[in-house]
Structure 1
Amino acid sequence: MEKINKSILSEVIKARNPESYKGNYGRILIIAGSLPFGGAAILSTSAAVHTGAGLVTVLTIPEKFTAMNTVVPEAMTIDYNDKQEMAAAIIKNNVIVVGPGLGTSTNTAEIISSVIKNCDGDTTVIMDASALTVAAEKNIDLTKISNLILTPHQGEWARLSGLAIPEQTPENNEIALKKLAPNAILILKKHHSEIYDFGKVLQIDDGNPGMATGGMGDTLTGILAGFVGQFGFSLKTISAGLYLHSYIADKINQTDYVVLPSKLISKIPKYMLKFSKQLQ
C-alpha cells in the first residue's frame, strides 16, 4: 500500500496563468442541504469556493438561500425542487457533488437519478453522505457514471459494499468496488484513510482526532470538487485534495483542541498559494 505524502501538493497545485478567467477553474454544482442539515451545504460550498473553483452553484431548498448567500456570497443558489432547473444545472456544470446534508427522503433518490440521467461522460460526480446511504438502500446502478468519486466513511461503505467493518480489507474493498462501480475512485474515510483506484491502493497517515467533528467530511467533499474542477479528474488530483484537508487540519491541531471545519476552510487559499510556488 503506497503512502501519500506532502510532495503531491506541489505536483498538483499550480500557479495560475496571468491570463485567467473564472471559466478556467471549473463549474461546480453542489446538490446539498435540507431543513435539519443546512450547514453541510454551506461547508461544502465554502470549501469549493476557498479552494479556487471558478463558478459554484448550490442546489438546495429555498429556506437555506439566505444563510447560503450570507456565508458564501460567491456561490449562486437554485431550488432543487425545480426539476427543470436542476436538469439544466447538471448539464451545464462539469463537477457535480450530491449528498451533503440531503437526508434520505424519496427526493434524494430522484436527485441521484437526475444526476445519472443528465451528466455526460466528461462530468465528474462526487457522491457523499446521504447520497451514499440512499444509493445503497435503493440499489441504484452507479456503473453508468464515467468519472465517479465515492467518499463513504466505514459505516456508509458497509451499506454500499455489504462488507462489515472488520471485513473491509484492501482486497475485499477492491473486489466490492469493481462490482459496485468499476469506474469509481473510492475514498474510504477512516483513521488513516485509503484511496482505491483500478487496483491501486493509497493511504494517508496524516490527520488527527481533533477532526472528529460535524462537517469535516462535507469540507473534504468541497475541496475535492474544487480540485477536480481546476486540475482534472485523476488519482493524483484526488490524492492531493485528501492530503491538503488533513495537512491543514494538522497545522490547526498544533494549537487547537478541536479542528473546526470553518477554520480549516479559511486557511485553504493560504496553503494552496504556498504549494503552488514550490516548484517555481
Structure 2
Amino acid sequence: MEKINKNVLNHVITQRNPQSYKGNYGKILIIAGSTHFGGAAILCSSAAIHSGAGLVTLATTPEKFTAVNVQIPEAMTIDYSQKNELAQAIKSNDVIAIGPGLGTSSIAKGVVKAALNLTTENQTLILDASALTIIAEQQLALETKANIIMTPHQGEWQRLSHLPIHEQNEKNNREQLQKLNPNAVLILKKHLSEIYYQNQTFQIQAGNPGMATGGMGDTLTGIMAGFVGQFGYSLETVSAALLIHSLIADKLYKENYVVLPSKIITKLPKYMKKFSQTK
C-alpha cells in the first residue's frame, strides 16, 4: 500500500491564471440535505466554495433555502423535487456530488437514480452517505459513464460491499470494488483513510481523533468536488483533496480538543494559497 506524499498538494494546487473567470474553475452540483439534515448540505456546499469551485449549485429541499442563502450566499439553490430542473442541472454541471444529509425518502431515491442515469463520460459523480445507502438497499448498478468516486465510511462500505468491517482488508476491498465498477475510485474513510483504484492502493498518513464529529465526511465530499471541478479528475486530485482535509484538521487538533468541520472549511483558502506557492 503506497503512502500519499505531501508533494501531491504542490503538484495539484497551482497558481491561478491572471486572466481567470469563474467558468475556469468548475461547475459543481451538490445534491444534499433534507428536513432533518440541512447542515450536511451547507457544510458540503461551503467546502466546495472555499476550496475554489467556480460555480456551486445546491439542490436541496426548499425549506433550507433561507439558511443556505444566509450562510453561503455564494451558492445557488434549486429544488431537487422538481424533476426537470434537477435533470437539467445534472446534465449541465461538471461535477455532481450527491448524498450528504439526503436521507432515504422516495425523493432521495429518485434523485440518486437520476444522477446515475443522466451523467456522462465528461462528468464526475461523487457518491457519499445516503446515496451509497440507497444504492446498496435498492441494489442499483453503477453503470454510469461518468467518473465515479465513492466516499463511504466503513459501515457504509459494509452495506455496499457486503464485507464485514473485520474483513475489509486491501485484497477484499479491491475485489469488491472491481465487482461494483472496475473504473470507480473508492475512498474508504477510517483511521488512515485509503484510496482504491483498479490495482492501486494508497493511504494517507494524517488524521486525528478530534475529527470524529458530525459533518466531517460532508466537508470532505465538498472539498473533493471543488478540487475535481478546478484541477480535473485524476488520482492525484483525489489524493490531494483527501490529504488537505486531514492535514488542516491535524493543525487544528494541536490546539483544539475537537476539530469542527466548519473550521477546516475556513482554513482551506489559506492552505491552498500556501501549497500553490511552494514548488
Q: Does 1:72 align with 2:72?
A: yes
Letter in 2 for 1:270: K
Letter in 2 for 1:203: Q
Q: For each residue in 1:247-272, what CA deviation from the matched residue of structure 2 results, as whole angstroms up to 9, or x when unmatched?
A: 00000001111000111100000000
Q: Does 1:140 align with 2:102?
A: no
Q: Which residue of 2 aligns with 1:109?
A: 109
Structure 1 length as normaliser, TM-score?
Answer: 0.99
Q: Which residue of 1 aligns with 2:196?
A: 196
- Runs of 4+ with >3 A deviation: none
Conserved 8 A contact 2:43-2:222: yes
Letter in 2 for 1:13: I
Q: For each residue in 1:97-154, what CA deviation from the matched residue of structure 2 results, as whole angstroms up to 9, or x when unmatched?
A: 0100000112222111111222111110000000000100000010324300000000
CA distance, structure 2, for counterparts of residue 139 and residue 243 of structure 1: 31
Q: Does 1:255 align with 2:255?
A: yes
Conserved 8 A contact 1:143-1:183: no
CA deviation after TM superposition for structure 1 residue 173, in Å: 0.4
Letter in 2 for 1:45: S
Letter in 2 for 1:144: T
Conserved 8 A contact 2:120-2:144: no
Structure 2 length as normaliser, TM-score?
Answer: 0.99
CA deviation after TM superposition for structure 1 residue 71, in Å: 0.6
Conserved 8 A contact 1:248-1:264: yes
Q: Which residue of 2 aligns with 1:151?
A: 151
Letter in 2 for 1:274: K
Q: For each residue in 1:65-123, what CA deviation from the matched residue of structure 2 results, as whole angstroms up to 9, or x when unmatched?
A: 00001110000000001000000000110100010000011222211111122211111
Q: Which residue of 1 aligns with 2:23?
A: 23
Conserved 8 A contact 1:207-1:249: yes
Conserved 8 A contact 2:188-2:195: yes
CA distance, structure 1, for counterparts of residue 144 and residue 65 of structure 2: 32
CA deviation after TM superposition for structure 1 residue 165, in Å: 0.5
Conserved 8 A contact 2:119-2:144: no
- Which residues of 2 match residues 209-248 of structure 1 at below 5 A? 209-248=209-248
Percent of aligned pairs with the same amino acid = 62
The total of aligned residue pairs comes to 279
CA distance, structure 1, for counterparts of residue 276 and residue 260 of structure 2: 25
- Which residues of 2 match residues 77-88 of structure 1 at below 5 A? 77-88=77-88
Greater CA deviation, 102-111 or 269-278?
102-111
3-state secondary structure, aligned to 2:229? helix
Q: Which residue of 2 aligns with 1:7?
A: 7
Letter in 2 for 1:214: G
CA distance, structure 2, for counterparts of residue 219 and residue 151 of structure 1: 11
Conserved 8 A contact 2:27-2:56: yes
CA distance, structure 1, for counterparts of residue 261 and residue 208 of structure 2: 13
Gaps of 5+ in 2: none
CA distance, structure 1, for counterparts of residue 144 and residue 231 of structure 2: 23
CA distance, structure 1, for counterparts of residue 165 and residue 118 of structure 2: 34
CA RMSD of aligned residues (A): 0.7
Q: Which residue of 2 aligns with 1:38?
A: 38
Q: Which residue of 2 aligns with 1:206?
A: 206
